[in-house]
């Protein structure tokens, strides 16, 4: 059985930057739209997660004792676990569907985007507000309220569930597929992460944004993969 390093195609002593580059290369190679398969795509993602979690090169995760490969996890903003105790009790998230922006001639960077959405009499699936429990992902919270927001892998390996954070902040684990410039622009993955402010405004369904479109995965390919598990 291949080790996580072999799946990514790097040496077991590769540094973080090499692993990151290898992961991005292998994600593209294994994407079903580029000749790979959903199973291969998921194996690449699982290998990357294992390494981030401190895979010791001997078939298991290390115990953290004097290891030269401690957990590589931490969010993209450089925050670590020390922020966990600051999590809010519950957040209120105002949401807007990216698909309605074009219809109304709105743009993501409009200062009054949510004011216009609030006054436009939009369908409740396109504009509204949801509560998000502590440690609940935004996608789960939307689904709990009966909304069908887009997703595919539910594991950080595609961009199907991406949202644009317009106001407030959302945590972001670095073990995901998003390029750092998209993260800096406020793009987050709703399947993995939760709000870290009491109130937040997000535009969901932004998977068609430039740079995100190529990271998408057709959801039906994952559904077929799970049926074969």
Residue number, 130 or 192, with CB nearest to ligand FES: 192
Residue number, 19 or 172, with CB nearest to ligand FES: 172
Which of 152, 163, 165, 196: binder of ligand FES (CB under 6 A)? 152
Question: What's the alpha-carbon Rg for the chain, to the nearest Å?
Answer: 19
Which of 47, 96, 130, 153: binder of ligand FES (CB under 6 A)? 153
Which of 23, 106, 151, 204: binder of ligand FES (CB under 6 A)? 151
Q: How far is the CB of 30 from ligand FES (least distance, A)?
A: 14
Tell me whether strands 199-204 and 91-97 are parallel, antiparallel or unpaired: parallel
User: Which residue in the shown chain puts its C-beta closest to ligand FES?
Assistant: 191
Which of 30, 42, 97, 160: binder of ligand FES (CB under 6 A)? 160
Token reading at 75: 């969010």
The reply on whether position 157 binds ligand FES by CB under 6 A is yes
The reply on whether position 142 binds ligand FES by CB under 6 A is no
Give counts: helices (H), strands (E), the chain: 8, 5
Q: What string of DSSP letters covers 31-91?
A: -GGGT--HHHHHHHHHHHHHHHTTB-SSSSB--SSS-SS-----BTTS--GGGGGG--S-E
Binding mask 11-50 for ligand FES (x = CB under 6 A): ----------------------------------------
The reply on whether position 158 binds ligand FES by CB under 6 A is yes
Closest listed residue to residue 188, CA positions, set 67, 113, 179: 179
Q: How far is the CB of 154 from ligand FES (least distance, A)?
A: 5
The reply on whether position 154 binds ligand FES by CB under 6 A is yes
Token reading at 154: 């539910």
How would you label 84-97 residue by residue, b for 16+ Cβ within 10 Å and e otherwise? eeeeeeebbbbbbb
Q: Is the Cβ–Cβ distance between 210 and 60 less than 8 Å?
A: no
Torsion of CA 187, 193, 197, 200, to 10 degrees: 50
Which of 156, 168, 186, 195: binder of ligand FES (CB under 6 A)? 156
d(CA 222, CA 141): 21
The reply on whether position 191 binds ligand FES by CB under 6 A is yes
Q: Which stretch binds ligand FES (CB under 6 A): 33-41, 49-57, 58-66, 150-158?
A: 150-158
Question: Which residues of the shown chain bind ligand FES in the complex (CB under 6 A)?
Answer: 151-154, 156-158, 160-161, 189, 191
């Amino acid at each position: 059985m291949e080790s996580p390093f072999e799946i990514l195609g790097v040496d077991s002593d590769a540094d973080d930057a090499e692993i990151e580059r290898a992961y991005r290369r292998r994600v593209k190679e294994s994407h079903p739209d580029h000749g790979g398969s959903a199973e291969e795509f998921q194996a690449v993602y699982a290998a990357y997660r294992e390494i981030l979690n401190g895979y010791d090169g001997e078939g298991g995760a290390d115990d953290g004792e004097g290891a030269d490969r401690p957990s590589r996890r931490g969010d993209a903003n450089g925050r670590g676990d020390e922020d966990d105790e600051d999590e809010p009790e519950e957040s209120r998230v105002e949401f807007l569907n990216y698909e309605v922006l074009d219809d109304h001639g709105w743009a993501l960077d409009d200062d009054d985007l949510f004011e216009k959405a609030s006054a436009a009499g939009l369908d409740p699936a396109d504009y509204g507000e949801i509560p998000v429990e502590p440690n609940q992902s935004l996608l789960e919270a939307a689904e709990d309220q009966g909304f069908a927001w887009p997703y595919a892998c539910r594991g950080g390996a595609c961009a199907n569930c991406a949202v644009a954070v317009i106001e407030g902040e959302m945590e972001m684990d670095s073990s995901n597929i998003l390029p750092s410039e998209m993260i800096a622009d406020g793009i987050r993955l709703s399947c993995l992460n939760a709000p870290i402010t009491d109130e937040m405004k997000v535009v969901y369904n932004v998977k068609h944004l430039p740079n995100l479109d190529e990271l998408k995965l057709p959801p039906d390919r994952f559904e077929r993969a799970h049926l074969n598990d």
